[in-house]
């Protein structure tokens, strides 16, 4: 019985020693911290900063307004030049419209004059034609009288009752009457031709033109109106182009005159580089934000443990001061002296950390679970191998 007790006691001692050594010798990190990417909000323009008071570490949402920058001395000379050019184009368009309207009014007046001229010209030719026809009738009447006188003179001269001089005078009157008839008929024919042409809208005269002065001026003014219309269209196109340039320049001036600062991540306000009322330059750092959607765990291990690890190896992260243990995966093995990889992270490494070998863990719960989000700076330990007491931690909710 006494030997049994001794054996059981030795077994318990050996078991305890195994658990202690196994717990201590299992692959684990010396320190681990929840870390995240840091982004910098910079001034988009130069000007005076308006930054409402906000506590460091306060939560911000993507797109949330954080402040604004205004510049009352923004350069708007180019915008003023474009506006002046647009005013000149407007003046040219007004001038062209006035000229077009004036020419069109003149065309209407000339059309009325041409219409009246055509009507009166036709009446004139009709009167001339009637007069020419009357002359023909008179000439024909004279010819009849002259021929009667010639016949009588011929009869008397054959009887010897009249001299040869009287006969010749009568014969000359007949020939003159016939010439007058031919001339009157030619004039009547010419007038009839001119009348028919005028009735068709073509006016014949002594000159080379086939239209009256009014119609000639209508043609000239119509051509001028078309030229002015083309100039007006060109000015309208130039005005439309200037409007686009003015709008673009106005947007640029408005952006330079005032610009909002907005959060580009869902996270925390981590640091301020400028304060309210300060004058900042374009591109100058104003705020630094932590991106909680990029949270992960950074830690350091001994060289012996580091050489047994690989990217993709599963690990467990135990939050300090609690029983929470989270599953994770190794995503980066940066080795010793990995100071450069922390330049864009929220938590910088300690001197002791840099003397060891750097490891990064991706722990999805730190991004997806609301109660674990944005635990930036919380510490704990990471484990890469199973430990004898893991089953007890499981029962305790670890």
In the chain, which residues have pLDDT < 70?
1-30, 74-75, 139-140, 142-175, 177-178, 198, 201-212, 385-398
What does the pLDDT read at residue 218? 82
Coil, strand, or helix at residue 81? helix
Residue corresponding to tokens 């070998």: 357
What does the pLDDT read at residue 288? 94
What does the pLDDT read at residue 144? 67
Q: Which residues pair with 69 in a beta bridge?
A: 49, 259
What does the pLDDT read at residue 390? 43
Token readout for 172 is: 């000359």
What does the pLDDT read at residue 1? 55
Q: What is the pTM for the complete model shown? A: 0.54
What does the pLDDT read at residue 76? 73
**Counting Cβ atoms within 10 Å, is residue 251 exposed (0-12), middle (13-18) or buried (19+)?**
exposed
What is residue 268's DSSP assignment? E
C-alpha torsion 344→350→352→353, nearest 10: -30
- Domains of the chain plus CATH, in order, are 25-39+290-395 (2.40.30.170), 79-236 (1.10.287)
What does the pLDDT read at residue 82? 87
What does the pLDDT read at residue 45? 82
What does the pLDDT read at residue 8? 53
Sheet holding 47-50, edge to edge: 258-262, 65-70, 47-50, 279-280
Residue 380 phi/psi, 5-degree rounding, is 175, -160
């Amino acid at each position: 019985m006494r030997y049994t007790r001794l054996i059981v006691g030795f077994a318990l001692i050996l078991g305890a020693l195994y658990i202690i050594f196994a717990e201590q010798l299992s692959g684990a990190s010396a320190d681990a911290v929840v870390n995240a990417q840091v982004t910098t909000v910079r001034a988009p323009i130069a000007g005076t900063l308006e930054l409402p008071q906000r506590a460091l570490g306060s939560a911000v949402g993507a797109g949330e307004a954080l402040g604004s920058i205004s510049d009352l001395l923004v350069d708007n000379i180019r915008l003023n030049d474009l506006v002046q050019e647009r005013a000149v184009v407007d003046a040219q368009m007004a001038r062209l419209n006035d000229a077009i309207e004036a020419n069109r009014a003149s065309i209407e007046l000339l059309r009325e004059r041409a219409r009246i001229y055509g009507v009166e010209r036709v009446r004139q030719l009709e009167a001339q034609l009637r007069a020419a026809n009357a002359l023909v009738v008179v000439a024909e009447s004279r010819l009849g009288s002259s021929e009667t006188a010639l016949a009588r003179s011929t009869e008397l001269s054959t009887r010897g009752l009249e001299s040869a001089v009287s006969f010749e005078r009568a014969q000359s009157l007949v020939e003159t009457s016939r010439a007058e008839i031919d001339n009157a008929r030619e004039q009547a024919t010419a007038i009839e031709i001119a009348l028919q042409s005028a009735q068709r809208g073509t006016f014949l005269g002594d000159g080379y033109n086939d239209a009256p002065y009014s119609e000639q001026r209508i043609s000239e003014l119509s051509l001028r109106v078309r030229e002015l219309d083309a100039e007006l269209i060109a000015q309208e196109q130039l005005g439309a182009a200037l409007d686009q340039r003015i709008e673009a320049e106005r947007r640029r001036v408005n952006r330079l005159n005032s610009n909002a600062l907005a959060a580009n991540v869902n996270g925390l306000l981590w640091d301020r580089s400028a304060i309210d009322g300060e004058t900042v330059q374009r591109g100058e750092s104003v705020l630094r934000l932590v991106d909680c959607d990029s949270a992960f765990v950074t830690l350091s291990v001994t060289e012996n443990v580091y050489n047994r690890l690989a990217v993709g190896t599963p690990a467990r992260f135990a939050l300090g001061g609690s029983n929470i243990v989270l599953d994770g995966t190794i995503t980066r093995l940066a080795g010793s002296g990995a100071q450069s990889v922390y330049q864009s992270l929220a938590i910088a490494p300690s001197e002791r950390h840099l003397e060891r070998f750097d490891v990064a863990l991706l722990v999805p719960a730190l991004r997806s679970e609301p109660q674990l989000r944005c635990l930036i700076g919380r510490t704990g330990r990471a484990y890469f191998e199973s430990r004898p007491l893991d089953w007890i931690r499981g029962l305790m909710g670890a």
